[in-house]
Structure 1
Amino acid sequence: MKPTLTAMALALAATGATAQSQDPVTIEFAYPYSHLFDITYERILERFNADHPHITVEFRATYESYEDGTNTILREAVAGELPDVTMQGLNRQAILVERGIAKSLEPFIAGEEDFERDGYHQAMLDLGTFEGEVYGLPFSVSLPVGYYNMETMAQAGYDATNLPTTWDEVIAACEALQEAGVDNPVFWGWNITGNWFLQALMWSQDEPTMVGNDFRIDTPAGLTALETMHGIFRGCEMQNLEWDAALASFSAGDIGMLFWSTSAVGAVERNMGDFTLMTHEFPGLTEDGPMGLPAGGNSAMLVSDSEDPAELEAAWLWLTYITSGEGAADVARTTGYMPPNQAANEIILADFYEENPTKATAVRQIELLREWQAYPGDNGLAATQVIADYLEGIVIGDYDDMEVLQQEMAEEVQDLMPADG
């Protein structure tokens, strides 16, 4: 009879779950977005190797996106080729829990004498908690922000005191930049993973995109979200760029305003041309600003199918190492993500944000944090793509009547949702 995960974890606890075996052990680890996280994990791994020299962490090929990460794990589960630890988008954890691929971390937490749940921001920890049990420890959390090339903005009369605070003001800024000779004044991240910016416009009105199995684009808030996107795309004559091309173009100094995840601040700063970068709060539909914003980012999940207690111990050590203390602090130092661990934010990084103001914007917005919602059922990933296709249709000019688009999108996506009950 095969031992259960709980039994093995309790066995580890009985002998000291954090006690290090001196026998060499290798674990496999997979994560998304090489351009954002390679430098982060390289820095963490160097410290981890010094602290745990008997453990070898092998990095698998990176996932292209959160959707790719989930699809990859689903395939590997069928093939019996799972890594030990995987990083999954905060909105993609549920499907791995529902299918029994992700393992509950409760037995391991119970074996830790000094594990502090309160060390993690509760709203962030809640995102990885299902039916009262923790399955994912948050690693990096982001919120949408505005990026500004201040030399380009100055051409249209903007400085740090008068950056746009509403989407109408963004459109006005686009027009002023175009009059000043700027060909590409803005890129707005409609194509960021998981329909994140659509959800940002919904949460800006304090409205969820999903209620149970009901896709809420057919509401007045849904129409406002679509009309806001249409206004930005047309009013700013926004080019249809792939997300990586948009980031590269902004870093090169070719775009005046970029609305994107704070996650890319580190990558932009490492690659930017000779201009002054400033980040600022995400604009709202009114001067009062957004009422809420979706939490982006990813979580560490144990998906190992190993029965070796030493390998499970090593996987748990790595998982907790990257999500707490100095490991979590490295997220902020190398990217623009916020560490989910309060100790990292409040103690280790006490002076960091004052010295790095471009990375402080998301922290100022943390009270707006809301759930990055998943689409339920087996067709959740398909629904994500259908919505993205409709949004691209607005960008390229296929749709101008947002009420017609609203009805078509609502019907097609709702058909992909599970029937109630």
Structure 2
Amino acid sequence: MRQTFSILLAAGLMAAAGIGTPPARAETTLQVVHAYGAFRERFYQPLADAFMKQHPDIKIKFRAPAADYYEGHLAVSRDAMTGETPDIFFAGMNLLHDLVLTLAPRNQITDMKPFLDAEGQAWVDENYDRNVLELGRIDGHQWGLPFNASTPIAYFNADLMEKAGLDLQQLPKTWDEFIEAAKKVKQADSDVDGMQINLALGDWFWQAMVYSYGGTMMSSDRTRITYGDEAGLKAATTVRRLVDEVGMPWIDEDAGQAQFAAGKLGIFIGSTGDIRTMDEAIGGKFKLITGTFPMGAEDGHVPTGGNFATILTKDPEKQKAAWDFVKFLTSPAGQKVTVLGSGYMPTNKQALKTEHLGEFYVSHPEWKTSLT
């Protein structure tokens, strides 16, 4: 598996390097901040290296990575007070609105709509789904361009599921079905746990539980907290059931991943961005299957995670260089490298074509759950 990833990664970078080279200009250095240091080696640095090879007049310099999106948001908000913001910042999707409220009045974030308009509507439609772009659009301004996209999904140990007599062709879909499946896994083997979901990773999985019951965290006008409504009560009740009925271990995400990869956990609820790490950690010890996040209501849904590429520099020349880098990152070839380095969903429509990720998804269906 690791060799396959290396070959595909190399192919993706070769394809990325084949994009047309723009006219030369004076050397420009872009300061870039992203979260999660482990992703630097997996895709940020390889993409930066490929971009700089194609654009020798632009240098990408990464600042120290933030521990997570929240820490990155706080750091950039502090930098804004002294005018030391990076030129490009990868903002957590759920934090873009707050970032814009802080930076836009100070003219410290760039609207990318003029850059998209300059590319032409035909080019935009060819590469980006309207709904994907809408995620980064606030009050008519394109403040962010989706770079990483993820949803919470379920990871199943197929061996433990079969041992428990569960039908792998009929994976659980609802919270009730997940709870029953987890109980059966535990009953079939007392040395394993049935299910684990990490509710301590920010609030993303708690959001997912509330959303799965048709609820929201806040009102649409952002003036009222709503997760205390009926959907939130049902989500909290479900957490209690997971502890009481399933005996769910109260551990963090890293421990949950390790327990699942060791074959000691039947169902793990995580991000689609965990899929490469999980594949490598399992190493063929058992068959991995992925499925959708459990639902609690007909109008249930899941939150989109990941990040937006935002341009914070006010310098016109740096803005042009930053747009070239963002466009490169979200190109089909750039997205292929990103997806293979993580498991995130591609944010460019063309990335799903056979010559990019289409063939890979056919041979690795466990990577495709978030796209269905």
Structure 2 length-normalised TM: 0.85
How far, CA to CA, are the matches of 2:113 and 2:171 in structure 1? 46
Give the conservation status (yes or no) of the 8 Å contact 2:152–2:272. Answer: yes
When structure 1 is superposed on structure 2, of 136-145 and 267-276 the one drifting more is: 267-276
2:266 — aligned with what? 256
- The SS at the match of 1:317 is helix
- The SS at the match of 1:93 is helix
Unaligned runs of 5+ in 2: 1-20
1:57 — aligned with what? 60
Call closer, same or farther: CA 1:329–1:208 in 2, change over 3 Å. same
How far, CA to CA, are the matches of 1:294 and 1:173 in structure 2? 24
> What do residues 77-101 of structure 1 show as CA deviations (whole Å, max 9, x unaligned)?
1233211111111111112211223
Give the conservation status (yes or no) of the 8 Å contact 1:88–1:301. Answer: yes
Give the superposition deviation at 1:148.
1.2
Unaligned runs of 5+ in 1: 1-17, 365-421
Q: How does 1:333-412 map to 2 (within 5 A)?
A: 333-346=340-353, 348-364=356-372
1:151 — aligned with what? 159
Call closer, same or farther: CA 1:36–1:184 in 2, change over 3 Å. farther
> What do residues 169-223 of structure 1 show as CA deviations (whole Å, max 9, x unaligned)?
2222222222222333221132233x22222233223332211211112322221
Q: How does 1:10-409 map to 2 (within 5 A)?
A: 19-36=22-39, 38-99=41-102, 100=104, 101-113=108-120, 116-118=123-125, 119-179=127-187, 180-193=189-202, 195-211=203-219, 212=221, 213-273=223-283, 274-285=285-296, 291-305=300-314, 307=315, 309-346=316-353, 348-364=356-372
How far, CA to CA, are the matches of 1:160 and 1:332 in structure 2? 26
How far, CA to CA, are the matches of 1:77 and 1:21 in structure 2? 31
How far, CA to CA, are the matches of 2:341 and 2:163 in structure 1? 31
Give the conservation status (yes or no) of the 8 Å contact 2:153–2:370. Answer: yes
Residue-pair matches, total: 342
Structure 1 length-normalised TM: 0.75
Give the conservation status (yes or no) of the 8 Å contact 1:144–1:293. Answer: yes
Residue 250 of structure 2 aligns with an amino acid whose one-letter code is: N
How far, CA to CA, are the matches of 2:312 and 2:227 in structure 1? 34
Give the superposition deviation at 1:115.
7.3
> What do residues 304-332 of structure 1 show as CA deviations (whole Å, max 9, x unaligned)?
24x3x433322111111111221122222
> What do residues 91-128 of structure 1 show as CA deviations (whole Å, max 9, x unaligned)?
11112211223221123334435773322122221111
How far, CA to CA, are the matches of 1:175 and 1:91 in structure 2? 33
Give the superposition deviation at 1:137.
0.2
Give the conservation status (yes or no) of the 8 Å contact 1:140–1:297. Answer: yes
